[in-house]
Amino acid sequence: MESDSSDNYGYEYLDHPADIQIHSWGLTLKQAFEQQAIGMFGIMTDLNTIENLQEEVIEAEGHDLVSLLYKFLDECLFAFSVEPFLCAFDVNITEFDEENFVIKAVLKGETFDLSKHPQGTEVKAITFSNMQINKESAHWECYVIFDI
């Protein structure tokens, strides 16, 4: 497990032939989505080097849970890809409407700086390929493949 959280929520990187797949989980769907986003930022740099110096609010809408997860992660990637190039170590979904498929979240972190943050692997895109959201007996799981 890559995350330093309890067994109740977290994420891990899974082997994939050409890309990177993240498996995330949480007691709630909200936690599983948050862990997926944190895992994505962890592909791009060492999250232990990120300080809580700025926050950015993002919003995403979908037409079902899978499209909502895709759009949410795409908004997180967009925050990293445009100025001020926010790299987040913490993602907190503040509004999660599972019926209308709307998310509002706060990303906490700082501007990515090569002199401070090690360069990881560039995430080019989130893919729908094999994207899964599963409700298990006591928790939720998400699987997402990232194009690198």
pLDDT one-digit tens code per residue, 45-101: 999 999 999 999 999 999 999 999 999 999 999 999 998 899 999 999 999 999 999
101-139 pLDDT, tens digit each: 999 999 999 999 999 999 999 999 999 989 999 998 899
Cis peptide before 17 (omega within 30 of 0): no
One-letter amino acid of 118: P
CATH superfamily of the domain spanning 19-147: Archease domain (3.55.10.10)
pLDDT band at 1 (very low <50, low <70, confident <90, very high): very low
CA angle (56, 10, 79) in 5-degree steps: 20
Interatomic CA distance for residues 73 and 123, integer angstroms: 11
- The domain segmentation of the chain, as residue ranges, is 19-147
Helix (H) or strand (E) holding 14: strand 10-14
Contact 19, 147 (CB under 8 A): yes
